Amino acid sequence: MRAPDELRALVEGAIAELELTSELGALAVPMRYALEGGKRIRGTICLATAEAAGCLPTEAIPAAVALECLHAFSLVHDDLPALDDDDERRGRPSAHVAFGEGVAVLAGDGLLAEALRLALGYDDQEIARELAVSTLGMIGGQHLDITRAQVDLAELHRLKTGRLFAASVGLGTRVAGLTDTEQAPWRAFADELGLLFQVVDDVLDGDGYAERLGAEGARRLADEAAERARARLGEIEADTDTLAAIVDELAVRTG
């Protein structure tokens, strides 16, 4: 099993070499800008899952890159003034600050469509289907986030963050050819992993669960989610060491 950093480097290299559709023309520039600098958590989880589930991690690279394109799409549109209005992203000006709002809207659109095009490169159409449905859930979550003052945090996060984490694991198992029944324990793991990620995110940002439960309460919730994620991995009959290392990383991350 390759270590998380080795898989991360694979994702990073594939993004650097990604051939965007030529008809996008100069829109490729803001799209690449939006893809730069991410931690590649989703792509790395996808490769780690695929390898643990029995295939070469390289087979999962198009799926991993598609997940990172979708994540970048969601950030570009979330950052827009009419949504979260964030001027900075990954330590640089957000896409709309660097390229203007109109171009940022189109760059996000392009990333969404490219993600699905990449997923459609697999013979197994279920891969693109899962990605499309996950994207729709994520968009629904973002809508909940900007429109409701009093919202069920668990439901919001299950959609806005959780759907893409679930897809990261789900696509990895699909690329490896696992049946729906075989995928079930992996998906139970993915749910805890998504929750872990989100709660730690809220602790770092001082909002969401940290606001609701206090920093200490949220920290405890994160530890419990990490514990359950490890327990779920223990129930899977495969070498899940790399996924366990990813759980450890997510539990202690500071940025």
Which CB atom, from 96 or from 228, has the smaller least distance to a second copy? 96
**Residue 97 engages a second copy in binding (rule: CB under 8 A):** no
Contact with a second copy (CB under 8 A) among 38, 43, 137, 170: 137
Cβ count near 234 (within 10 Å): 12
Contact with a second copy (CB under 8 A) among 1, 9, 144, 245: 144
Which CB atom, from 122 or from 209, has the smaller least distance to a second copy? 122
Residue 92: closest CA among 36, 50, 130, 133: 36
Residue 246: strand, helix, or coil: helix
C-alpha dist (Å) from residue 130 to 126, 137, 165, 183: 6, 11, 12, 13
**Residue 112 engages a second copy in binding (rule: CB under 8 A):** yes
Helix or strand run (H / E) with residue 67: helix 61-78
Q: How far apart are CA 147 and CA 160, in angstroms?
A: 13
Which tokens is 48 given?
Answer: 């780690």
x/- binding map, residues 37-76, to a second copy, per CB under 8 A?
------------------------------------x---
**Residue 171 engages a second copy in binding (rule: CB under 8 A):** no
Stretch that binds a second copy, among 6-14, 116-124, 167-175, 183-191 (CB under 8 A): 116-124
83: DSSP letter: T
Contact with a second copy (CB under 8 A) among 101, 180, 207, 241: 101
